[in-house]
Amino acid sequence: MNQILITGEEQVIKNSKEKIKKTKKVLPIKTVVIFFIIGIILFGICISIGSMYAKIKINETVENNMKPEITLQRNEDNTINIIVNNIRKIKTLTYRWNDEEEVEIETEDSKNVNAVIQLIGGENTLTVVAIDENNQRTELEKTYIENSIPQIEFDTVDNGVKVTAKCEQEIEYLQYSWDDGEITKIDIAQKNYEGVLNSPTGRHTLKIEVVTVTGNKTTEEITVVGDVEPTLNIKSELINGKATFVIDAEDDENIKTISITLNEEKQVIDVNEKTYHGEITMIEGQENRIIVTVTNENGLQKTRKVKFDNK
C-alpha cells in the first residue's frame, strides 16, 4: 500500500491558501467618509444652481409684468405733480380732464418723469395713462374739487364766443387776446361774469385768463370761427308737373359743400360758391323725406329736414 505523507510545511501552505480565499476586501472608513462628503457637496451645488436659475426666471417674469407707477401730488399753488417711475423707459404719458382731449407729456424715454399741470376750478376728474417700452400700461383716475379757482365756459355765437366765468372768490379781472395779439383787459370785481367776445372774420385762436382777487387764475385757449352759419331754405314746388324739393343756400363768405339725403340715398356736392340752387324730384306714390346740410369754408353748418307726401 502506498501512503502519501503530508508534511507540516505542506499543511501550513494549504491552510494559508484557505485563509486567503476566505478574506474579503473592505474599504477603509476614511475613504467612505470622503466619498460621502463629496456627494453631499455635489448635491448642494446642484440644488444651489437650480435655485439660482429658478430665482432668475421668477425675477424675469416679475420684471416683465411690472407696470409703471403713477403718483399724483397736489401743490399749494393749485398745481398737480404727475410723477411716474418704472424699471423700463416710459414710452408715452398722457392726461386729460373729464372727457376732454388727451394731452401728451414729453417723457424723453426716461424711466422717471415728473410733470406739473394746472388744477382747474370746480369738480373735475383727472385721468393719467402711462405706457412703457414693454407696452405695460397703468391708468390712474382722481377727482379734484376746487372752488377757489375760476371756471370758464364757452358757447359759440355768431361772429364770436360767449364767455361765462364764475368762482366762489371774487373775480378781479379777465384778459384775452386773439392769435397772440394785443391783450384786452376787462375789470369784473364780482363772482360771476358773462359776455360776448367778437371774433375777427375767419378762424382764430382765443387765449383767455381769469384771475381772482387772491391771485388764483384759470387760463384757456380755444379756436373760434368769426362767422355766421349759412342760410338754407327748402320748398316743395310743382315743376314740369312733378313734385320737387327746391333748395337754396347762401353764405357771406363761401359754401364748401352741400349734403343731400333723399329718403335713403345720399349725395355730397362740392360747391365753392357763395350761393347754391338745386332741384330734387320726389318719388311718386310715397312720402318723401329730405335732409340737407350746408357747410361753409369755416366749418359752420346749417341743416334742415323736410317731408312731403307725394301720393
In sequence order, what are the beta bridge partners of 187? 173
| Range scoring the smallest mean pLDDT among 47-56, 148-157, 277-286 | 47-56
Asked if 111 and 162 sit in the same domain, the reply is no
The closest of 241, 252, 243 to 296, measured between CA atoms, is: 252
Of 292 and 121, the structure prediction assigns the larger pLDDT to 292
Taking Cα atoms as reference points, which of 95, 101, 150, 152 lies closest to residue 126? 95
Name the β-bridge partners of 155. 162
Q: Which three cell numbers stand for residue 139?
A: 391708468
Domain with 164, as residue range(s), is 151-226
Range in 1-10, 147-156, 285-294 the model is least confident about: 1-10
Question: Can you tell me the mean pLDDT for 244-254?
Answer: 92
Q: Are residues 122 and 156 in the same domain?
A: no
102: which DSSP letter?
A: -
Q: Give residue 3's pLDDT.
A: 45
User: Residue 19: what residue type?
Assistant: K
Q: Note whether residue 39 is domain-resident.
A: no
> Does residue 237 lie within any of the structural domains?
yes
Q: What DSSP designation does 23 have?
A: P
13 pLDDT above the threshold of 50:
no
Q: Is residue 61 part of a domain?
A: no
| pTM tops 0.75, yes or no | no
Average pLDDT of the residues of the chain:
85
Indicate whether 205 and 161 sit together in one domain: yes
| Domain count within the chain | 3
Helix (H, G, I), strand (E, B) or coil at 193: strand
Name all contacts of 155-159 with Cβ < 8 Å and 24+ positions apart: 156/224, 156/225, 157/196, 158/227, 158/228, 158/229, 159/198, 159/199, 159/201, 159/226, 159/227, 159/228
Do the domain assignments include residue 298? Answer: yes
Label each residue of 299-310 as H, E or C.
Answer: CCEEEEEEEEEE
Q: Residue 233 CB: number of other CB atoms within 10 A?
A: 13
Cα–Cα distance list, 237 to 1, 247, 279, 280, 295 (Å)? 164, 11, 9, 10, 24
Confidence band of 225 (pLDDT split at 50, 70, 90): confident
Is residue 33 very low, low, confident or very high in pLDDT (cuts 50, 70, 90)? Answer: low
Asked if residues 159 and 186 have their Cβ atoms less than 8 Å apart, the reply is no
- Given 146, 166, 191, the domain boundary residue is 146
User: Do 201 and 242 fall within a single domain?
Assistant: no
The CATH code of the domain that includes 170 is 2.60.40.10
Supply the DSSP symbol for 140. E
Residue 60: predicted pLDDT: 59
